[in-house]
Amino acid sequence: MAKVKLPQLIDPTKSAMKRSTYVGVYASDLMERLNSAVEASGEWISVDVKFEKDAQSLTYFHGNANAEVELLCQRCNKAYSDSIAVEFTFSPVQGEDEEAALPSAYEPVEVNDHGEVDLLQLVEDELILSLPIVALHAEEDCNVGPDDMTFGKIEPEQERKNPFEVLKELKRD
């Protein structure tokens, strides 16, 4: 089946009036920040998103995205494959007043001057936030086992500060 490439900018209000569902992909090449956070990523990021209005007639959109990535194990320093799955629920807002009035079930997303949201960037942010802070193999797959006495015991670098922690903290406010 041919892959449907999703538009990057979407007007959520119009899409919600039509109760649109978008099922398709983004090329991972377009996600530079994600690519710089992982060793490698699969060619396509799959996305499934539905635009709706709730009982209060608020526009919202929710869905999920999946990415195949290669991460570098912090214990044995070898790359391994992982899939990252995220779910999200956003509601478009314009200005701080609308953002303050938004029910907490929704994550606010600021629209641009044309009333559009950058769905690609939203998905990319969610994927980056879902990456493990310390990437590690499953213990049985790791090339440095707990009984590997030849090289001594190597602890994961617990103190390693993930640059995206900062982003995560910003999002919580």
The binding site for Zn ion (CB under 5 A) comprises 73, 75-76, 137, 142
Nearer to Zn ion, 47 or 73 (CB): 73
Torsion-angle region of 76 (φ positive above 0: left; ψ -120 to 50: alpha; else: beta)? alpha
Nearer to Zn ion, 80 or 90 (CB): 80
Nearer to Zn ion, 7 or 156 (CB): 156
For residues 117 and 93, give the distance between their C-alpha atoms in angstroms, rounded to a whole number: 10
In order of 38, 91, 101, 125, 169, the CA distances from 162 in angstroms are 12, 28, 32, 14, 12
Nearer to Zn ion, 75 or 127 (CB): 75
Nearest-approach distance from CB 161 to Zn ion, in angstroms: 20
Nearest-approach distance from CB 73 to Zn ion, in angstroms: 3
Q: Are 19 and 51 in contact (CB under 8 A)?
A: yes
Nearest-approach distance from CB 75 to Zn ion, in angstroms: 4
For residues 21 and 8, give the distance between their C-alpha atoms in angstroms, rounded to a whole number: 14
